[in-house]
Amino acid sequence: MSNDVKSGKEILDDFFKEIENIPNVDKVLARSLATLYDQGKLTDTNVKNELHTLREQDANQN
């Protein structure tokens, strides 16, 4: 049995790579968060701005 211990970065990399596959997750939001993470821009301000943008897009579609 292997006792490989993952670093925090490896855990986060795996999480954001698979975030869209989590049951009942909003795919658009998950993709947005994963993109911010990949770009190294996953900050409180950027997440708030992205949520605001997604809400506006959703409101415009309805």
- What residue has token string 């994963």? 34
Confidence of residue 1 (pLDDT cuts 50, 70, 90): low
> Residue 61: what pLDDT?
85
Residue 2 has pLDDT above 80, yes or no: no
Cα R_g (the chain), whole angstroms: 15
Longest dimension (CA), the chain: 53
Q: Which residue has the higher pLDDT, 44 or 59?
A: 44
**Pairwise CA distance, residues 32 & 29, whole Å:** 5
Closest CA to 47 of 61, 62, 35: 35
pLDDT tens column, 7-58: 999 999 999 999 999 999 999 999 999 999 999 999 999 999 999 999 999 8
Domain boundaries, the chain: 7-59
